[in-house]
Every structure is written in C-alpha cells, then in structure tokens.
Structure 1
Amino acid sequence: MSMAVTDELERAREHFDAGEWGAALRTWESIDQGRLSADDLEDLAVAAYLVGRDSTAAEALQRAFQTCIDDADTLGAARRACWIAMIMSMAGQPAVGQGWASRAERLLDEFDEDVEERGYLEMNHVYAHLAVGELDEATESARRVADAGRRFANPDLFAAGISAEGRIILERGNVREGLALFDEAMVSVTAGEVSAVFAGMVYCTMIEGCQDVSDFGRAAAWTAALSQWCDRQPGLVPYRGQCAVHRGQICALHGAFSDAITEFDDALRRYRETSSPAAGFALALRGDIYRLTGEPDSAEDSYEQAAEFGYEPQPGLALLWLSRGRRDAALGAIRRLLVESQQPVERSRILPAAIEILIAAGELEQARESARELDHIACGFSCVALQAMAAYAAGAVELSDGDPAGALPYLRKARQLWIDLDCPYETARAQVLIGRGLRALSDTRSADATLAAAHRTFVDLGAKPAADEVAGLLTPEGFPAGLTDREVEVLRLVATGRSNGQIAAELVLSEKTVSRHLTNIFTKLDVNTRSAATAYAYEHGLM
C-alpha cells in the first residue's frame, strides 16, 4: 500500500475517532475501495449511516461481508451481516434486515462455543419479535444481548440490551423496574463508553419511554443531554430528528407553543431527508399544538398527514372533533381506543382525553370509572405528571356530577403538581375548574380572581380557545343568586314540571347529578320546594 494511501487511511481514522463523520466518510471515499480492510469498510459504513446515507452504509457493509467471506473470516462475516440487518431494520426495511439476520444465523451455526457476535444477532431478534408483538420473546432476546455485553465487556451490547429490556418492561406496566434499567444503561452512555450508533439508539429509546409514562422530569433531563451529544458531532443526521421532536415536547409542556412548532417542523425537515416513518408522530404532536392555539384547520391537516404516514393521531383528533361540535364522532373514537388499548402505558396516554370527552357527552359513570383507573395507574407508575392528570380527572368528574366541594381538593392537588412541574397551560386548566367550583359554592369573588388568573395565562400562552372559554365565564351572565349555567338549565326544566328522571334524560345526566344540582339550587335560592323554586324562576325572568 502506498504512503499516500496509508496517510489518507490514518486521516480517515482520526476523523472517525473524533466523531467527524462527514470528514471521515469523504476521506475514505477518496481511496480505492479495494484497498480498504473489512474494519475500514465497517467504519466507513458507520460514518455513512450517521450522516444519513443508509444505502452507502449498506453497500460498504456488504463489501466488508464479502471481504470476510473471501478471507474465510466467518465470525467477521456474521458480524457484518448483523450490522446490515440492524441498519436495514432501522431504515424501515425489516424484510431485508431479516434476510441478513438469517444469513448471520446460518454462519454462526458453525460455532458451538459462545461468541460475541451472537449478541448482535440477538439485537436483531429483539426487533423481529417486537414487530409481531411477541413481547415475552423480545424481552428474553434483550436480556441475552445484555448478557453478551457483560460477558465480552462490550458496552454497546450491554447498553442496548438493558435499554431495550427496560422499554419493553415499562410498556407492560412495570414502570419502576423499566426506569431503573434506563438509568443503568445511561451510565455507560454518558461515560462515553458506547459507540455513536448505539448511544443514539439508547438515548431515543429511553426518552420515548419516559414520555410514554409522563415522566417529564427524566425526559427533559435526557433530552438536554441528547441535544448536547448531537451538537458535539458535526454532520450527525439520524438522531437529530428525534432530538428535535423531544425538544418540541418539552417546549409544549412548558407552554412555549411557538417554539414547539419550530422544533416539530425542524424534525419533519430532517425526517424527509432520511424518509423516516417517525414523521407521523411529529405531525400528530404538531396537530396537538395547533389545536390548543386555536388553529383547527391546521390541526386537522397535521393529523391527516400523520395518518398518511401510518400513525394514528389519537386521542388528539378526537379532542379536535369535540371542540368542533362533533361529540358523537369523538365519543365513538375514544370508546374504540379504550377497547383496543389494554396495556397500562397505552391506557395512561388515552384516559385523560377519554375522561374529558366522556364528561362532555354526559357519560359520567364511565368517566368516573376511567378516572379511578387513571388514578390506579398513576399510583403504580409514581410519575408526578400522571398523578396530576389523575387528580384533575377526578375533580372534573365530581364537579360535573354536581359536587363542587368534593371536586376542589382534587383540583387543588392537580394545580400544585402542575405548578411544581412548571406546566402553565395545565396549571391554568386546573384553575378554571377551581374557579367554577368556587362559583358553584357561591364564593364569587374568589372564583373571579382564580378565573382571571387562568385567563391571563391562556392569553400569554396564545391558547385562544381556552382563553375565550374563560372570558365567557368571566362575563356577567345576569343570573341571580350565583346560579350557574347548568343550574339555570335544571331550574327551567323543574319549572316546566319535569321530574328528575326526565331532566336527566334531556340533559344527558345521571339522576344523582340532577339531584345534586337541585340541592345546590335550593340552597342558593333559600327555598325548600320545587314549587318555590319555580316561583323564583318566573319572578326573576329566568324562563
């Protein structure tokens, strides 16, 4: 090999070791490929993958595979076949990936002894099992990956194995054990022991898992770490899209809606560069923000695009339908989701929206059952945001069922938890219900102050629909004795001679709720009978 070629190879390796993936790739590509060893071709492939050139990565690995076959290096060939399988699977070509995994398995069948390459093969088995919903088998494969990493002192396999196991365990509802495995995997990653491809995989696996169970504290901390990790590697492509999505989620959580849209748009641009199916998720998240900021057409467009990528944009789309008056469509969708979703993590993502829709549809008993289930899940997960959602849901049900005194402790708990998490939009939502509860208890001055604070927050955040709703609550309605809209509805029906059962049917409420409203009406009007309440309604022009 000439001195010039040797110098170029050294330069390429130096760029590679420094994480300068684009420079390393350009240098390797300037050399006659026939002069590159299997190891150099593998590193070339890694650099190509990390700058978003998946086809170049696959071609380089295939040349490395053939070089190993020609040199009778069976283990080396199996290792490269495993790499091709992983890259193809991550690039959205699982059938091609499985073909290469089968080739690697055939090569490894020649060896009776324990070899490191079986760990890489098991990583492909994890993907294959997950693709068909075989969670038990995927868990066992992930454990074998981690075990191989321990036996062969391979940080890549160890971190990838325990993070995959943690994600599967977490999705099945054992959140504490799953998060503990995540934390263990991240020790190796943050120590710089794990290579770039596997480090990116572990980061994204862990952050997505934390988002799924509403552990926003961990998600925010590791999103910041992922951003810094990406910034240290010029030219890195594959994980920047995910990083932008995660940053957008954190921005949305803290009420920075315009920044969240910017991040999601950045992620979509990067996903188009790599043809990533994850674009559907980013589009659905963008739709959620447009829904909150009062841009329903843009929200619907984003949700439709998400569906075109194969991602179901629920429950956000059902909430959009509800806001547009399509209550039956929203109710049908949410009931279908509740039937289809059986795992606790899945249900924790759906139940908050389901309870909101069920309350709006007057299905208070099912809403109450769903709120109890959400509280049970939140206690098991021990994630603060989920506990705040459960408290808010319980308060909303009690308030809608005519029990403001019973609702307020739940709502105050929810407000405080959201304050602690620095989530202004959710804090203001809790304040709105607190204000409504205070008004129902005739504490009008406190109610108005609470509602006004919520209105200011919504205006500052640009959450127009919520701001408009609160503005309506703050506008004097002219109802005497502090009667609420719902109480006036009930009183008018009482005055027409309808029974509690007839009122319940007409307003889509339970009879118990109607009875509670009637008790509150009697208290506010200082009357004891339906006839006296009827007389009051006519005397004060409420009919």
Structure 2
Amino acid sequence: MTASDALDTGRAAFAERRWAEAHERLAEADSAGGISPADLELLATAAFLRGRGEECVSVLTRAHAAFASADDAEGAARTAAWLALYQIELGDLSHNFEWVPRGLRLAAAVRDSSSVIGLVRLPPAIAQLASGDPVGAEARFREIGDIADRTQDPALAALALFGRGMCLTEIDDGEAEGMACLDAAAAAVSDGKVSPVGSGIILSTVVSVAHTAFDLTRAIGWTKVLDDWCRDQPELVAYSGQRHALRAALLLLQGAWAEAAAAAELAMARLRAGDYRAAFGAPYWFGEVQRLLGAFHSAAESYRRAGATAWDPQPGSALLDLAEGRVSRARDEIRRTASAVGDFARRHLLPAVVEIEVAAGETGAARAALRDLLRLGASASTPMFAAVRSHAEAQVLLAEGDGTGALEAARAAADAWRRIGAPHETARSRVLAGRALHVLGEPTRARAEFDAARAVFLELGADPALAELSSAAGERRGSLLTGREVEVLRLVSTGLTNRAIGERLSLSEKTVARHLSNIFGKLGLSTRAAATAYAYENGLV
C-alpha cells in the first residue's frame, strides 16, 4: 500500500471510528514522511483512543510545531489546548504550565469567530475546579459556553456544560442545576455532537458523579449511554476499562455479583491494556467486589493500587479495616478523608462514617455524622438517598438504645432498598431491624428478619455480611460455614494439600484456596493448624 493509499484508508477508518486501522494506517503514512499537521492530529487522537498516551503526546507536539512553523495560529492554539487536555487525562499536570499559557497566547491572534478561543480556556478552568474553586471555575465555564454558542460549536458547548455541571454540584444549592447540565452534556454525546475524546471524558465522569450523588436513575441511564458508546467502537481502549468498572459498581448494587466480578476483571484487563481513565476506577471497584465477597487480602491490594493514583480508596478501604476488626484504624481513615473533601464528596462518605463511628462506640460522633448527612442531603430527593438516610438513622438510633425508632428506620430503609432493587442493602437493613426487635424483646420476629437476610447473603456469597449477621444473632462461628467449606475443613484437618483436596472433591486448586481463605476469614483463623484444631474442638471431624 502506498503512503497516499494508507493515508486515505486511515482517514476513512478514523471517520468510521475504527481506531485500530486508523492508527495503523495513519502511522504507516506518517512513517513514509510528509503528512499534514491536520493528519497528525488524527493520528494523535487515534493513538490516544488505542491506549498509546505517550505516542499521542509526541505526535500532537509535532503537529503543534508544524502549525506554528506555518504561522497557523488557530491550529497551533488548538493543538496546545488538546495537549493540555490529554495530559490532564493522563494524570500529568506538570506540562500544563507550558501548554496552557502558550495556547492562550496563540489564541489571542485568532479571529473572534473561531471556537479555539474557548477551547484554550478549558484546561485552566478544569485546573481551577481541581484546586477547590468551583465558583470561579463555573464562571469560566459559563464564558466558554457563551463562546461556543457564538461560534456555533456544539462539541465545545457540551464540554462547557459538563464543566459547569461539575462545578455546580460542589456549590451550595447548585446540585439540581448541575445535574441538569450534566444531563445536557450526556445528551449531546448521545446525539453525536461531541468529539470522541470529549465524549469519553463526559460519559466516564458523569456516571461516577451519579453514584456519588446516590442518583440511581441517572447512574443507570448514563451507564447505558456509556455502554452503548463503547460497544459501538469495539477497538476503543481508552474509557473502555472505566466503562466496565462503572458497570461493576451498578451490578454490585443490583445484586448481580457474578457479573459484577466479571466486569471488574474486564476493567482491570483494560487498565493493563492502556485505559488511563480506568486507573481512577478499576482497582477501586475491583476491591469493592472482593471486599463484599470476603476476599480481604485481594481487596486490600486493590485499594492500595487505587490509592497509588489520584483516587482516594474510600470508603471501601476503611470498611475493609472495619470488617477485619481494625476499628480504630477504620475510624481514623474515614475521618481523615471526610474532613479533606468538599460537601458533595463528603455526603457520599458519611454513611460509612456513621457505620464506623457506631462500631467504634462513638455514638456522639455517629449522631454528628448523621446530622451532617441530613444537612448535606436536604436537597437530594432520590430514592437511593432515602434508603441511605434511613439505614444510617437506624444504626444511630440502635446505638442510642432507641429500639422503636431504630426498627421504624430500619424497615423504611429495607423497603426503600427493595423498591430500587438492591438485595444486599435490603438484607443489611433487615439485620438492623432484627437487632432492634431483639432490643424490644421480640426474639421470634427478630429471627424471621435474620433468616430472610441470611438467605440473601448466602445467595450472593456475601461472607462478611454473613459473619456480621451471625454476630448480631449470637450464633456459633461454625454455623457460618457452607457445606462445601465444612468438607474442605475436614480434609484440611487430615493434612491434605490444596491440590489433594481438589482431587478428592473434583475442584480446582484455586477454588480450594478460595474456600480455605473464606474459612479463615469466617472463623477468625490464620493457619491450617488453627483450622485443624477448630475442626476437632467443634466436632467437625
């Protein structure tokens, strides 16, 4: 294929969003020498979407130099703006000190009818929001929106709406308007009005915002838009991992835990393949799946990986500490994080703050966190927030000894969770109802609540929740084990290796190891010798 043919094929593939072929053919034409700066822009975009961030920056830097050499101020300003945006996406903010002022300076020589004069203002507006000034940043995004309207650039208009929405969610009484802005930005993506990278930025962020806002309706709707957008581009690497991570978050809530685990695995695979955005979600949601299933060691490693990025792995990491009995550490972690974030993010953390403070015996601190949750959620009218609020109220009231109030709140929470289709959370609220009934001297009715919750936890494989339930119901530790786990424990006590146990039970060695890990976690043991002793002491052998 000649260089000219490769270039034509690459352009056509780019237009059809066939990113692998677009990247391959445009790179082939580039290696032959002499492609235009505009085609270098296409190659840079294709490289970014294929997970080749360093190549993208290198190629776009060459395009910028070519535009500058040709005295094309508009092209040079546009590439400077995108270099700043790409490096924000890649987590490299150091070079923005170079590209942002350069883009602004070049745009000063561009005609007023060009939307580039708005594009170059996006990176500094994003930086202002990230620095903790949503009010100032919102004014900047509003100006960019005015420029987009004047120059009739729908892609820039969508990014300006997106930026305004992100700012408004952080401003007092601005959440409703902010979510409406994010709705409009996501709709522009659905209508095909936004560039591929701009679409990925918008969609992968708005779904996360919906989860933070306890807005399940938007989380479901926006996840579908992101899912469809990625599915229509099967060769996409960038944003595809974040898509799977956010699907895992939704599937966890909906009780489809096997599918959630598969989605989390896919997210991690896409992260390894080069999806930069997945670094901010894939390890965390993979950790959440593992924590809820009781794979605590793996969950800790996932949260560690999440913490190595700009993502603070909370509340998952603190809840893992709580599940493993490190209550003081969990309390210190969650307090530190909650005190360091804005109101919007803190509201998302406060349910965990309540749970951990109650577990630590800090009833006054739990009541204060509940008041903060109610204050920050005063404008939130979503069904999911109603469930979260009632569950937190039940925990605090139970800690304060108000069985009647706790029962009423727990039942309200269970009903709310049931209506939105969240079985694990429904069962957790029923455990609270059972505990309240115990306080009220109604053990038979308490047992009914516990039994209903247990059935759900067993179906989901929610081992930590089963352990918590057995503690609440005053059960023996051995009753936590499934029939298969008892079989594995009996064979461990005979001195067999995992491989030999697997051969005896027709299981893989990996499955035996998982069962053994679950047994250790449920029984609070750490060695095979201790497990053997437990089996003999409790008549299992």
TM-score (norm 1): 0.82
In 1, the alpha carbon distance for the partners of 2:320 and 2:16 equals: 48
**Pairwise mapping of residues 174-213 of structure 1 onto structure 2 (< 5 A)?**
174-213=174-213
1:240 matched to which residue of 2? 240
2:10 matched to which residue of 1? 12
2:438 matched to which residue of 1? 439
**For the structure 1 residues 34 and 443, does the alpha-carbon distance in structure 2 shift closer, same or farther, using more than 3 Å as the test?**
same
Q: Please state how far the C-alpha of 1:387 moved relative to its aligned partner.
A: 1.9
Deviates more, 1:47-56 or 1:413-422: 47-56
| Correspondence for 2:22 among 21, 24, 47 | 24
In 2, the alpha carbon distance for the partners of 1:355 and 1:256 equals: 26
In 1, the alpha carbon distance for the partners of 2:194 and 2:236 equals: 16
RMSD of aligned C-alpha atoms? 2.3
Counterpart residue identity of residue 212, structure 1: T
1:394 matched to which residue of 2? 393
In 2, the alpha carbon distance for the partners of 1:274 and 1:63 equals: 22
SS in 1 for 2:377: helix
Once the two structures are superposed, what CA deviation does each residue of 1:1-36 show, in whole Å capped at 9, x if it has no partner?
A: xx9655443322221111111112222222255442
Does residue 271 of the first structure (1) align with residue 253 of the second (2)? no
- Note the residue ranges of structure 1 that are not aligned, 5 or more in a row: 478-543
1:485 matched to which residue of 2? none
Task: Give % identity.
Answer: 34
Counterpart residue identity of residue 443, structure 2: T
Once the two structures are superposed, what CA deviation does each residue of 1:60-105 show, in whole Å capped at 9, x if it has no partner?
A: 3233223323332222221122222221221222222331222222
Higher Cα radius of gyration: 1
2:294 matched to which residue of 1? 294
CA contact (8 A) 1:307 1:313 kept: yes
CA contact (8 A) 1:392 1:430 kept: yes
SS in 1 for 2:425: helix
**For the structure 1 residues 93 and 320, does the alpha-carbon distance in structure 2 shift closer, same or farther, using more than 3 Å as the test?**
closer
Once the two structures are superposed, what CA deviation does each residue of 1:230-253 show, in whole Å capped at 9, x if it has no partner?
A: 111131111101101101111111
- Note the residue ranges of structure 2 that are not aligned, 5 or more in a row: 477-541
1:522 matched to which residue of 2? none
In 2, the alpha carbon distance for the partners of 1:81 and 1:87 equals: 10
Counterpart residue identity of residue 409, structure 2: Y
Moved over 6 A (4+): none
In 2, the alpha carbon distance for the partners of 1:415 and 1:282 equals: 29
In 2, the alpha carbon distance for the partners of 1:197 and 1:312 equals: 25
Deviates more, 1:298-307 or 1:74-83: 298-307
**For the structure 1 residues 360 and 147, does the alpha-carbon distance in structure 2 shift closer, same or farther, using more than 3 Å as the test?**
same
Q: Please state how far the C-alpha of 1:473 moved relative to its aligned partner.
A: 4.7
Q: Please state how far the C-alpha of 1:275 moved relative to its aligned partner.
A: 7.1
Q: Please state how far the C-alpha of 1:261 moved relative to its aligned partner.
A: 2.9
In 2, the alpha carbon distance for the partners of 1:365 and 1:381 equals: 24
SS in 2 for 1:171: coil
Q: Please state how far the C-alpha of 1:446 moved relative to its aligned partner.
A: 2.3
CA contact (8 A) 2:4 2:29 kept: no
In 2, the alpha carbon distance for the partners of 1:54 and 1:42 equals: 13
In 1, the alpha carbon distance for the partners of 2:360 and 2:118 equals: 52
**Pairwise mapping of residues 311-390 of structure 1 onto structure 2 (< 5 A)?**
311-341=311-341, 343-390=342-389
Does residue 462 of the first structure (1) align with residue 461 of the second (2)? yes
**For the structure 1 residues 249 and 77, does the alpha-carbon distance in structure 2 shift closer, same or farther, using more than 3 Å as the test?**
same
Counterpart residue identity of residue 345, structure 1: F
Q: Please state how far the C-alpha of 1:474 moved relative to its aligned partner.
A: 4.8
In 2, the alpha carbon distance for the partners of 1:64 and 1:253 equals: 45
1:128 matched to which residue of 2? 127
In 2, the alpha carbon distance for the partners of 1:275 and 1:209 equals: 19
SS in 2 for 1:167: helix
In 1, the alpha carbon distance for the partners of 2:53 and 2:324 equals: 43
In 1, the alpha carbon distance for the partners of 2:69 and 2:333 equals: 57
1:414 matched to which residue of 2? 413
SS in 2 for 1:149: helix
Deviates more, 1:360-369 or 1:154-163: 360-369
Q: Please state how far the C-alpha of 1:276 moved relative to its aligned partner.
A: 3.1
**For the structure 1 residues 87 and 464, does the alpha-carbon distance in structure 2 shift closer, same or farther, using more than 3 Å as the test?**
same
Deviates more, 1:169-178 or 1:430-439: 169-178
In 1, the alpha carbon distance for the partners of 2:38 and 2:376 equals: 49
In 1, the alpha carbon distance for the partners of 2:98 and 2:210 equals: 32
**Pairwise mapping of residues 466-505 of structure 1 onto structure 2 (< 5 A)?**
466-474=465-473
